[in-house]
């Protein structure tokens, strides 16, 4: 759920990197909060909690009566709901805006968040297309560079597209000669985009615009005669063919009939434009996948490569071979190859066997296979030839993550990014043939990486399972049980939480705190068995793992409950909801962003049918039992002393319905007996897919940081001054 195509992890990381880079430096500014503000942490601003009516809708599911007191808040556009959202936002800002010292904190956040950010380039015919956001801009601009060291030319400026800078643009594809560029236009944080075709030399859009919709794959033929694309329709995903210069309304549907809206389909083309590749995913984790191939040059049929195997398969082109990454008969994944002219299963051959490291993805570049692996929740990259011979392993500077490795089969030029909790993202240009590399772009974040250490520990979960956790903090920190600690996790959809730099982590460790990431079951850190141990009826394992992580931090004198905060979003937002309802005594503050929380009804909204293979559905009597047992919304008990919570969501989240946060905020406000604040931070333009202008990021991050520091009583440390007179952290 972190990505529309959760199973395609490299795509997930590449997309997520842009959102992370957009806010990498900002929150480190928290350590500059004024002393007056710090001294007032125990002061709760006076504010009147908005009244929220109950309707107590009753229904019987599988013989159990379910009462929903806030069903009316599911209607996002009703006047009553809109008035309630406005009242909640006013209440939230009354609480947060009254905290002293925020003006000074905003100055520092603004100064550090506004940095130059450069994305990974798309290379075509000596032309490099990439996104760049200058320090003074709200949104990224798409640039062209002719030659690797040429001058940067601005092509498409999202900042000029809307007065409030809520529109963002992204690079989709470019023609082989670099003359045409396909780019997306996104409004707010919605998943839906409009797809544009841009004439690079004429500097103008062509009429061939695909209307706003949810797209999965936009592929341009080598001769620029047309585009294959997958669009979500009311009936389900469909692959279409658009002939350039014709009306989009006349586009031809070429694949997808019979597949419902719970299915994900995406398409791609071989570099020479001869073959069309289609993936069919049964749910976001792609635990069942179908692959189809069409020889366009021969005008052949769309034929199945794999259709009847209950496993995950992801294929890509490598010259005249199809390279297939799969967990079929290999829980930690292996790589197979097949001849494009005869790709059926009987002719597959194993290229890279399963090992003790989990294969996350493969990029066919420079005539080699660049394989990204995860071992003990950290990245490795190894180069193989098509016979399976190991060429070399890329040396990485620290325990961290490699993401967005891209290139072409016929070119030795590749790009990848490296990051860790305390190391800002650096994008490298890598020569596959020689192993030489140079920096393409580096985030200029004022953090002294050598001041901090990254430590991996292992702890026992409730059932005895050993679970790893990364800890990041300043060298020499005293374990006296009072350190402010921020714990996060995800635990779902086969996503591996390897170390990456984030503004939240930078802020926390810079202020003298501990930042902790638990690698929970349900993720992909140790392969499909680890994933399946945290899905469906095993989902409670994820929550047990997280609670055990919190207990370990306390037992080992890193922190105490009053100084322990937790944060998570999307599937991680469900984790936050379960943690705070199952162990309200364990946490000093909770930030729950874009969450699922009503697990008895989640499948009825937006694209949530994608996630039924991961969670199950209350429509199934057996699955209803375990969903009811942990569903946070149904687990709230009146009179319980719940910790302070801030829910974060927005209207433009077209992936996880914002109704979850609305209903849960109302319920906790009514039920909690602790007197601690329960806030709803609701943005009318924010969503799951990023795109938030930097000015709004500053507002949002300032609010989240203020909430955490206020509730934990944190006094931020003052920064040291570098010899250049600039603050470093």
Residues labelled catalytic = 570, 688
Give the H/E segment covering residue 431: strand 423-431
Q: How far is CA 612 from the centre of its chain?
A: 19
Query: Strand order in 378-384's β-sheet?
Result: 358-365, 368-375, 378-384, 390-393
Angle, helices 694-712/79-97, rounded to nearest 10 degrees: 60
Contacts with 566 (C-beta within 8 Å, 6 or more apart), sequence order = 486, 487, 488, 546, 550, 576, 579, 580, 587, 589, 590, 591
Give the H/E segment covering residue 606: none
Distance between CA atoms of 727 and 718, rounded to whole angstroms?
9
Distance between CA atoms of 567 and 645, rounded to whole angstroms?
10
Contact between residue 39 and residue 114 where contact means Cβ atoms under 8 Å apart: no
- What 8-state DSSP symbol labels residue 643? P
Distance between CA atoms of 158 and 134, rounded to whole angstroms?
12
C-alpha dist (Å) from residue 214 to 495, 606, 667: 22, 11, 32
Q: Determine the straight-line distance between the first and last CA of the chain, rounded to whole angstroms.
A: 33
Taking phi first (over 0 means left), then psi (-120 to 50 degrees means alpha), and beta for anything else, what does residue 362 get?
beta
Contact between residue 383 and residue 370 where contact means Cβ atoms under 8 Å apart: yes
Give the H/E segment covering residue 709: helix 694-712
Give the H/E segment covering residue 631: none
Q: DSSP per residue over 127-152, as a string?
A: EEEEEEE-TT-SS-EEEEEESTTS-E
Distance between CA atoms of 152 and 500, rounded to whole angstroms?
28
C-alpha dist (Å) from residue 92 to 272, 449, 695, 704: 55, 35, 19, 11
Beta bridge partners of 157: 141
Contact between residue 307 and residue 300 where contact means Cβ atoms under 8 Å apart: no
CA dihedral 234, 240, 244, 247 (to 10 degrees): -30
3-class DSSP state of 87: helix
Write b or e for each residue in 189-210: b if 16 or more Cβ atoms lie within 10 A of its Cβ, otherwise e: bbbbbbbbbbebeeeeeeebeb
CB neighbours of residue 570 within 10 Å: 23
């Amino acid at each position: 759920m972190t990505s529309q195509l959760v199973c395609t992890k490299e795509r997930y990381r590449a997309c997520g990197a842009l959102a992370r880079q957009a806010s990498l430096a900002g929150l480190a500014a928290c350590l500059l909060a004024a002393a007056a503000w710090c001294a007032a942490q125990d002061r709760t601003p006076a504010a009147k909690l908005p009244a929220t009516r109950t309707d107590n809708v009753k229904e019987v599911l599988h013989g159990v009566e379910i009462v929903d007191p806030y069903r009316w808040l599911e209607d996002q556009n009703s006047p009553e709901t809109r008035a309630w959202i406005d009242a909640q936002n006013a209440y939230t800002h009354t609480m947060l805006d009254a905290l002293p010292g925020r003006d000074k904190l905003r100055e520092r956040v603004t100064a550090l968040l506004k940095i130059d950010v450069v994305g990974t380039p798309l290379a075509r015919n000596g032309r490099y297309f990439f996104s760049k956001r200058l320090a003074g801009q709200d949104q990224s601009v798409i640039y062209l560079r002719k030659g690797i060291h040429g001058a940067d030319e601005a092509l498409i400026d999202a900042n000029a597209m809307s007065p409030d800078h809520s529109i963002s643009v992204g690079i989709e594809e470019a023609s082989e000669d670099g003359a045409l560029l396909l780019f997306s236009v996104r409004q707010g944080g919605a998943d839906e985009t409009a797809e544009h075709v841009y004439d690079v030399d004429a500097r103008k859009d062509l009429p061939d615009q695909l209307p706003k919709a949810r797209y999965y794959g936009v592929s341009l033929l080598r001769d620029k005669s047309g585009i294959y694309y997958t669009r979500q329709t009311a009936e389900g995903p469909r692959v279409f063919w658009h002939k350039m210069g014709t009306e989009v309304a006349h586009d031809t549907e070429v694949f997808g009939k019979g597949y419902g809206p719970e299915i994900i389909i995406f398409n791609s083309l071989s570099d020479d434009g001869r073959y069309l590749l289609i993936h069919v995913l049964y749910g976001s984790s792609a635990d069942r996948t179908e692959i189809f191939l069409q020889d366009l040059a021969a005008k052949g049929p769309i034929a199945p490569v794999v259709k009847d195997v209950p496993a995950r398969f992801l294929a890509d082109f490598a010259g005249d071979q199809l390279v297939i990454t799969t967990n079929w008969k290999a829980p930690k994944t292996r790589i197979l190859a097949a001849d494009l002219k005869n790709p059926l299963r009987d002719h597959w051959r194993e290229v890279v066997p399963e090992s003790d490291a989990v294969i996350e993805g493969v990029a066919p570049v420079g005539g080699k296979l660049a394989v990204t692996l995860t071992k003990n929740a950290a990245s490795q990259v190894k180069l193989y030839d098509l016979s399976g011979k190991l060429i070399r392993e890329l040396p990485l500077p620290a325990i961290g993550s490699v993401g967005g490795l891209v290139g072409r089969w016929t070119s030795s030029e590749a790009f990848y990014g490296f990051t860790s909790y305390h190391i800002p993202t650096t994008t490298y240009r890598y020569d596959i043939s020689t192993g030489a590399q140079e920096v393409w772009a580096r985030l200029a974040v004022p953090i002294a990486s050598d001041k901090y250490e990254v430590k991996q520990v292992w702890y026992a979960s409730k059932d005895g399972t050993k679970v790893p956790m990364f800890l990041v903090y300043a060298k020499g920190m005293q374990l006296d049980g009072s350190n402010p600690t921020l714990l996060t996790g995800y635990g779902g959809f086969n996503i591996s939480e390897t170390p990456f730099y984030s503004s939240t982590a930078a802020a926390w460790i810079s202020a003298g705190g501990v930042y902790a990431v638990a690698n929970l079951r349900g993720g992909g850190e140790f392969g499909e068995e680890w994933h399946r141990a945290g899905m469906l009826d095993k989902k409670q394992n994820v929550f047990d793992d997280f609670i055990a992580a919190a207990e370990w931090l306390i037992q080992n004198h890193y922190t105490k409950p009053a100084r322990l905060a937790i944060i998570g979003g999307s599937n991680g937002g469900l984790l936050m909801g379960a943690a705070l309802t199952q162990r309200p005594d364990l946490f000093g503050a909770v930030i729950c962003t874009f969450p699922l929380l009503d697990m008895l009804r989640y499948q009825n909204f937006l694209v949530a049918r994608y996630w039924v293979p991961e969670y199950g559905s209350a429509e199934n009597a057996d699955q209803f039992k375990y969903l009811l047992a942990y569903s946070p919304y149904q687990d709230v008990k009146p009179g319980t002393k719940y910790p302070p919570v801030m829910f974060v969501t927005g209207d433009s989240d077209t992936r996880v319905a914002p109704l979850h946060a609305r209903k849960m905020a109302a319920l906790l406000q009514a039920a909690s007996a602790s007197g601690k604040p329960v806030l709803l931070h609701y943005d009318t333009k924010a969503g799951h897919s990023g795109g938030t202008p930097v000015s709004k990021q500053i507002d949002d991050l300032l609010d989240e940081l203020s909430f955490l520091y206020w509730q934990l009583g944190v006094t931020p440390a003052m920064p040291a001054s570098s010899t250049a007179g600039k603050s470093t952290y």
